[in-house]
Amino acid sequence: MDGPVAGLVVAGDTLTGVRLASGEVVALDTVVVAPRFTARAGVLASLGLKPVDVEIGGPIVGSQVPADATGATAVPGVWVAGNVANVYAHVIVAAAAGLTAAAAINADLVAEDTRTAVDAYRHRMRTMFEQDAWEERYRAKPAIWSGRPNPQLMAEAAQLTPGRALDVGSGEGADAIWLAQQGWQVTAVDISTTALARAATHAADAGARVAGRITWTHADLRLQPPAEGGYDLVSSQFMHLPEDARRDLFARLAAAVAPGGTLLIVGHHPSDLQTTAHRMHFPDMMFTGEQIAASLDPTTWQVLAAEARPGATVDPEGRDITIHDAVLLARRRA
């Protein structure tokens, strides 16, 4: 007999039958009811995820939220596991699904962190050498350099007859001031007006004789190259740029050296990345003296040094370590 069941017929504590909606009573000793499993998906529905019916051979046995094998749903960043995603799942199956979803979520977070880090790295590569970035860096502190001239410059320029010098990326002026004190006429170039103003103040403090030998010049040498053959000494101390920009700039610096003049390029050696010195984490921007020497025409240049020179320093944790300067020293043939 078919028809909707309206209720159970119970005598005492014993089931005796069911009453149909028509009023008829069907005598029974046992009633078997197939449950319908419904996902508790109210929160998921608010995110745009609606459960779908699940059928077994025709009858609907429940509902679940559609997801792939990892538990990922159609909404990015939302995973499901257990019976909400599988009406058939027993405890062990649900637990395994939770583990799978957790692993997928972790992988997604790692991928997102990686994308964010790569985007930030590329953005910094594009902007860290532009004027706005340098102005912000200099304005953040009253001084960002030690105020001492670079040792490789002192070691090499002390052997030279003073003439016209180009100080590339002059910063707060320590190298330019030292050169002027040795008798050089210095063109000190920097991309930051803040740095140049600070450097000019330091030069004035060193006296009128020194200050009068320095011309402070605001320029981006990538766009405004120095005059060819204009200097007896061109000094670039720790000018780190992306490889293509560095190659172009160093070629222009070499062209600025007069016949018989000296080119001195110094940078952080790539081996410093293996120390605890906390160098910039831009390996492509680091170089060796040998790499720079290889870019010079041997018919035009005599390479006097292309090497890594060791030096002692203390890392941020106070430990004594050895670092290396990449040094290129070359003389333009007369």
Summarize pLDDT for 231-267 with one digit per residue, the tens. 999 999 999 999 999 999 999 999 999 999 999 999 9
User: When comparing pLDDT for 303 and 40, which is higher?
Assistant: 303
Query: Same structural domain for residues 74 and 197?
Result: no
163 falls within a domain: yes
Strand pairing of 25-27 and 14-20? antiparallel
78 falls within a domain: yes
Query: Same structural domain for residues 105 and 168?
Result: no
Query: Same structural domain for residues 237 and 170?
Result: yes
35 falls within a domain: no
Q: In angstroms, rounded to a whole number, what is the distance separating the alpha carbons of residues 40 and 43?
A: 8
- For position 126, what pLDDT does the model report? 81
Query: Same structural domain for residues 174 and 191?
Result: yes
45 falls within a domain: no
Q: What is the b/e burial string over 73-84, where b = at least 16 CB atoms within 10 angstroms of the residue's CB? A: beeeebbbbbbb
Query: Same structural domain for residues 80 and 187?
Result: no
Among candidate residues 103, 127, 151, the one where a domain is terminated? 127
Query: Same structural domain for residues 142 and 270?
Result: yes
Number of domains in the chain: 2
Q: In angstroms, rounded to a whole number, what is the distance separating the alpha carbons of residues 179 and 176?
A: 5
Query: Same structural domain for residues 218 and 317?
Result: yes
Query: Same structural domain for residues 174 and 268?
Result: yes
Over residues 43-65, mean pLDDT: 88
pTM over 0.95: no
Local confidence band at 45 (pLDDT 50, 70, 90 cut-offs): confident
Residue 123: which domain range? 52-127
To the nearest whole number, what is the mean pLDDT of the chain? 94
Query: Same structural domain for residues 107 and 189?
Result: no
Query: Same structural domain for residues 248 and 192?
Result: yes
Indicate the residue type of 176.
A
Query: Same structural domain for residues 201 and 262?
Result: yes
- For position 121, what pLDDT does the model report? 84
- For position 124, what pLDDT does the model report? 82
28 falls within a domain: no
Q: In angstroms, rounded to a whole number, what is the distance separating the alpha carbons of residues 286 and 125?
A: 13
